[in-house]
Structure 1
Amino acid sequence: MIRISCLRHRIVEIPDLTVDARHIAVIGPNGSGKTTLLSVCSGIEEPGAGTVRLLGRPPSAVKVGWVGEFPDRTLLFSRVYDEIASTPRFRHYPCPETDERVRAAAARVGISHLLDAKVSAISGGEKALVALAAACAGDPEVLVLDEADSHLDAVTAERVRRVVQESTAAHVLWCTQSMDAAAGADYVIFMENGLVRHHGTPEEVFSALEETCFYPTMWRVCR
């Protein structure tokens, strides 16, 4: 369960929000506070006021996997293998277990053939997959993706969605500009001007957004 109480940080103000769902899509216009909310929930930033609890604990006490919109800004190591191995190494897993986790995560994401490659030599889509594999290698309790699908081709974006769906994380927080992807979530949070304007099931949230650009395209076609 995710509980947010009296949260005030930068533009974001959330008096009270409790979400008990696995796959949670965070949507809204640019500048609405989505990334700020995800940064606080992941523990990257400490809230200016209020509390965030993931699984009953502060984010710093939870294993969180993070995948950002621009992997070039977050990938630290020159070789793909070392990038994926960074999380288990930082958590002091033994070398054999680290190697097992790296190879399993790479296979899950479909980049086993890239393990010995230089990060600088692979494509942007492949870098996004490396970032996702690195997040998954730590067996996260909560997986956070900040528009990780924004600059991907359709095939790669679909691969990311498949890996996320198969993740064993208790919660997946996914900020996305794809309303069709958000429509497949268990729960949707719509933000605007730092506030949560709508939240609930996709049906509940998108029924309030039917006359906006945030209504899923496939729903307009099929419903």
Structure 2
Amino acid sequence: MICIANLRHRIVDIPDLAVDARHVAVIGPNGSGKTTLLVVCSGIEEPRNGTVRLLGRPPSAVRIGWVGEFPDRTLLFSRVYDEIASTPRFRNRPCRETNERVGAAAAQVGISHLLDAKVSALSGGEKALVALAAAGVDDPEVLILDEADSHLDADTISRVQDAVRKSTATHVLWCTQSMDNAAEADYVLFMERGAVRHHGTPDEVFAALEETCFYPTMWRVRR
């Protein structure tokens, strides 16, 4: 369960919200507060007021994997293997376990052949896949993606989606501008001016938004 109460942080103002769904898509126009909400849910920032609870705990007490829109801003190590291995190493996993986890995470996103490559030599899509593997290597309870699909080609997006489906995370929070991706979610939050204006199943939210002219040519509603 994702529970938010009296949350106020920067532009975001959410009095009360409870979501019990695995794949939650967060959509809305630029500047609506989507990234700010995810940053607070990830524990990267503490909210100015209010609380966020994931699985009954504050974000700081939850294993969270984060994938941002621009991997270059978050990838820290020069070699792909070391980037993916960073979380289990920081958590003092044994070397053999770390190696097994890195191999499994790389295989899940199809980058096993890149483990010895330099991160600086990768394409943008490959860096996104490395970031996803690093986020998932230590079995996160919550996986958060902040427009991780924004600059990817169709093949890479498909690989990201497949890896997310295979993830063991209890909740996936995915901020996206792709209505096709949002339509595949279990639950959708539509944000505008810092508030959650509509929330529910994709069908419910898309039906409500037909009256708002938000991305009118992009809606894809599951039937």
Q: TM-score, normalised by structure 2?
A: 0.97
- What letter matches 1:67 in structure 2? V
Question: CA-to-partner distance for each residue in 1:71-91, whole Å, 9 max, x for gaps?
Answer: 000000000000000111111
Equivalent position SS for 1:197: strand
Structure 2 counterparts to residues 80-95 of structure 1, below 5 A: 80-95=80-95
- Partner residue, 1:53: 53
- Partner residue, 2:182: 182
Instruction: Please state how far the C-alpha of 1:217 moved relative to its aligned partner.
Output: 3.6
- Partner residue, 1:126: 126
- Partner residue, 1:163: 163
Gaps in structure 2 of 5+ consecutive residues: none
- Partner residue, 2:28: 28
Structure 2 counterparts to residues 94-173 of structure 1, below 5 A: 94-173=94-173
CA distance, structure 1, for counterparts of residue 7 and residue 132 of structure 2:
28
Question: CA-to-partner distance for each residue in 1:117-141, whole Å, 9 max, x for gaps?
Answer: 0000010000000000000101100
Instruction: Please state how far the C-alpha of 1:11 moved relative to its aligned partner.
Output: 0.2
CA distance, structure 2, for counterparts of residue 112 and residue 152 of structure 1:
19
- What root-mean-square deviation, in Å, do the aligned CA atoms of Structure 1 and Structure 2 show? 1.3
8 Å Cα contact 2:111-2:129 kept in structure 1 = yes
- Partner residue, 2:203: 203
Q: TM-score, normalised by structure 1?
A: 0.97
8 Å Cα contact 1:180-1:216 kept in structure 2 = no
Equivalent position SS for 2:220: helix
Question: CA-to-partner distance for each residue in 1:99-133, whole Å, 9 max, x for gaps?
Answer: 00000000000000000000000100000000000
Equivalent position SS for 2:168: coil
8 Å Cα contact 1:179-1:215 kept in structure 2 = no
- What letter matches 2:47 in structure 1? P
Percentage identity across paired residues of the two chains = 78
8 Å Cα contact 1:183-1:216 kept in structure 2 = no
Q: Does 1:191 align with 2:198?
A: no
Structure 1 residues 67 and 216, CA gap change in structure 2 (3 angstroms): farther
Gaps in structure 1 of 5+ consecutive residues: none
How many residue pairs match? The answer is 222
Instruction: Please state how far the C-alpha of 1:213 moved relative to its aligned partner.
Output: 3.7
CA distance, structure 2, for counterparts of residue 2 and residue 77 of structure 1:
32
8 Å Cα contact 1:206-1:215 kept in structure 2 = no
- Partner residue, 1:65: 65
- Partner residue, 1:78: 78
- What letter matches 1:115 in structure 2? L
Instruction: Please state how far the C-alpha of 1:218 moved relative to its aligned partner.
Output: 6.3
- What letter matches 1:208 in structure 2? A
CA distance, structure 2, for counterparts of residue 39 and residue 218 of structure 1:
26
CA distance, structure 1, for counterparts of residue 216 and residue 197 of structure 2:
15
- What letter matches 1:191 in structure 2? M
Structure 1 residues 61 and 121, CA gap change in structure 2 (3 angstroms): same
